[in-house]
Amino acid sequence: MTSTRPQPAWLANSVLYQIYPQSFADGNGDGVGDLPGALDRLDHLAWLGVDAVWFSPLFASPFADAGYDVSDYLTVAPRYGTNEDLVAFVDAARSRGIRVLLDLVAGHTSDQHPWFRQWADDPADGRYIGNERVGAPASAWAPVPGRRGGYYQLNFYPCQPALNFGYARADPAEPWRDPVDAEGPQANRQALKDVMAHWFDLGISGFRVDMAASLVKDDPGHGETARLWGEMRRWLDAAYPDVALLSEWGEPAVAVPAGFHADFFLQFANPALRSLWHTGIGTHDSAWTETDRFFFDPEGSGGIDVFLREWRRATGAIGVDGGHIALPTANHDYARLVSGPRTAEQARCAFAFLLTWPSLPTIYYGDEIGMRYVEDLPDKEGSILSPTNNRTGSRTPMQWKLGPGAGFSDADPDRFYLPLDPDPGRPDVAGQQADEGSLLHLVRRLVALRHATPALAPGGALEVLTEGYPFVYVRGGTHLVVVNPRRDAATAPLPAGWDGVQPVEVEGVDLADGRAVAAGFGFGVFERPARP
């Protein structure tokens, strides 16, 4: 299968970088990260070699859910700066060859948004989902605060009323359900286009769409939701063909055919990401039944089979050139690479895999230096979802240098958005830049190798040779990759023709006598000349 949809050429071989803005760099000394601070650190991203940055929400918000409760889609939150500060960052990034993506919370707003306040006072307004009679279940509905009365449907926290994009199915017992072509749902579709167009016209190169599957309600198989995003994609292809939409859907097999340029393998729904990274620390998902074993486990508890099963299913649905699967090291909702039993030493092997696999690799801020998930931190702006799901530890301040504040902020540490990692041996950018053998330099070399090597791009061919420890695969017919993310050594047979090939980036792997022998946490990228 070959897609007929156009694709932005810049996306195909991009390495993405996620910035959690309140924790990245503080430019005004108030203890909270901001856009001027991020601008001051832009050269780090250029030096690292990333192609695009994605900011977690920057828009105005009461911050009951860390900015995922938007009160104004067209205004930067004052704690981060101004719209002009964002445009300045975009322009400076583009001058360094870096594009900027924003986070679009598409399915709900804050209960402080003017749209919601108007809806709560106007029974004729159809922008949100209201029900006059039913106040239960409490997890799905909350009382309307205005003259309308009744209850509103929420998407996550009570502060996040669900925008009305209609229902896929009517139900006589629930006459308040609007079809997807009703006035309120159609007004919300237009509002999505208006918000995106506003920022595209100011130089933004795309959006990562939060909870992208949540829009149309009671939608078995997400058929109507897919049609909605297909409409958005047709509009983008005609009006803004060089921008990209990435989804927080977690099912690339559904989201990319629906219209997104890429979808993330994530920690919920699809098991692919959890089968790679999940340690059960911090952001434990009790619904996940296969992560008593995970591949990047020091004890070698699990193979790569679950990941490969989901990868093959997704790529089969997407087709050739149909779009991409984005694979993150971590994110603001999920524990970092360095968490629980997994150390920074093992993260080296993880990056060797991430940056040679045919996905869109996404580096969560700080993972390039091996920042760790910090356990047992208190709630901050809704960061603790349950006793076993504490997202706070993945959101601590970026560690730029030694000393008080770690280069994140000049404020008193008591004013920091979150406390720094208290470990006296915590890594930092300055120290690792001075050390050619550091994780940071390895990541930089692997990013450069990916950019310089067409065989390693998403379009390069993939041949899996072994599915255990070590995991061995060939990219583009020319590059052999061996990764052994367990503590114990491992050996795998090789097909003929790989003995004596050129090592490109190798730590602890030898090829000899028709075998790959990998030390614990070893990895290697090897190249042989292309066959004539």
Query: pLDDT by residue (tens digit) across 189-228?
Result: 999 999 999 999 999 999 999 999 999 999 999 999 999 9
pLDDT of residue 5: 83
Query: pLDDT by residue (tens digit) across 425-454?
Result: 999 999 999 999 999 999 999 999 999 999
Query: pLDDT by residue (tens digit) across 468-519?
Result: 999 999 999 999 999 999 999 999 999 998 988 999 999 999 999 999 999 9
pLDDT of residue 389: 86
pLDDT of residue 293: 78
Rg of the chain, C-alpha, whole Å: 23
Question: What's phi and psi for 271, nearest 5 deg?
Answer: -85, 0
SS3 annotation, 465-494: EEECCCEEEEECCCEEEEECCCCCCEEEEC
Residue 2: pLDDT band with limits 50, 70, 90: very low
CATH of 9-107+182-452, one of 3.40.50.1100, 3.20.20.80, 1.10.3720.10, 3.10.620.30: 3.20.20.80
pTM above 0.75, yes or no: yes
Where are the domains positioned within the chain?
A: 9-107+182-452, 114-153, 461-527
Query: pLDDT by residue (tens digit) across 227-243?
Result: 999 999 999 999 999 99
| 525, pLDDT greater than 50 | yes
Instruction: Report the alpha-carbon distance of residue 179 to residue 197 in Å, rounded.
Output: 26
Query: pLDDT by residue (tens digit) across 397-433?
Result: 999 999 999 999 999 999 999 999 999 999 999 999 9
pLDDT of residue 532: 61
Specify the range with the lowest mean pLDDT, choosing from 10-14, 57-61, 289-293, 511-515.
289-293
pLDDT of residue 278: 87
- DSSP string across 430-475: HHHHT-TTSHHHHHHHHHHHHHH-GGGSTTS-EEEEEESSSEEEEE
pLDDT of residue 313: 96
Instruction: Report the alpha-carbon distance of residue 152 to residue 157 in Å, rounded.
Output: 12
Fold entry, domain 461-527 = Immunoglobulin-like (2.60.40)
Instruction: Report the alpha-carbon distance of residue 464 to residue 474 in Å, rounded.
Output: 6
**What is the average per-residue pLDDT within 368-376?**
96
SS3 annotation, 393-413: HHCCCCCCCCCHHHHCCCCCH
Which residue is associated with the tokens 């991430």? Answer: 354
Query: pLDDT by residue (tens digit) across 136-147?
Result: 565 789 999 988
Query: pLDDT by residue (tens digit) across 321-342?
Result: 899 999 999 999 999 999 988 9
pLDDT of residue 448: 98
Nearest by Cα to 23 from 329, 328, 340, 405: 405
